[in-house]
């Protein structure tokens, strides 16, 4: 990836960290202190993408999807993104934002368990 594009992606990730969605904020409050030793990064730049949450040790990306991910060209864009990440050896787990809003604690626990498996 060209250096200039990579720098733009890092800048985008920094901006996104300041503008987390409510489900992302709720999860980050629970995950930021590395529960059970599981370290996650938020809004992590990787290649041409920014991952919502990323466990580098296990190479797992957790994407929090709002309803917009079901509309327009988003499903095909998400598919291309997931394929690219898979080619890099990264597993993608998509979590509906509504599930996080229903119980951020349960989702955070599930993410930690998933990373520990």
Structure tokens at 35: 């529960």
| 9-23 per-position pLDDT tens digit | 677 667 766 778 899
* Residue-range domain boundaries for the chain: 3-116
Identify each DSSP E strand in the chain by its residue range: 41-46, 49-55, 60-65, 91-96
Spatial separation of the C-alpha atoms in residues 26 and 103, rounded to whole Å: 9
CA distances from 2 to 5, 8, 16, 87 (A): 5, 10, 21, 19
Spatial separation of the C-alpha atoms in residues 55 and 37, rounded to whole Å: 11
| 44-89 per-position pLDDT tens digit | 999 989 999 999 999 999 999 876 645 566 778 889 999 999 999 9
CATH superfamily of 3-116: VSR Endonuclease (3.40.960.10)
State pTM to two decimals. Answer: 0.84
């Amino acid at each position: 990836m060209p250096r200039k594009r990579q720098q733009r992606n890092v800048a985008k990730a920094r901006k996104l960290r300041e503008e987390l969605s409510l489900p992302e904020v709720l999860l980050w409050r629970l995950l930021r202190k590395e529960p059970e030793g599981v370290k996650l990064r938020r809004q992590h730049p990787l290649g041409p993408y920014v991952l919502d949450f990323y466990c580098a040790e296990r190479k797992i990306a957790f994407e929090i999807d709002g309803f917009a991910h079901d509309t327009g060209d988003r499903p095909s864009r998400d598919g291309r993104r997931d394929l690219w990440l898979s080619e890099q050896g990264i597993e993608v787990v998509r979590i509906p934002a509504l599930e996080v809003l229903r119980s951020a604690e349960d989702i955070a626990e599930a993410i930690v368990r998933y990373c520990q498996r």
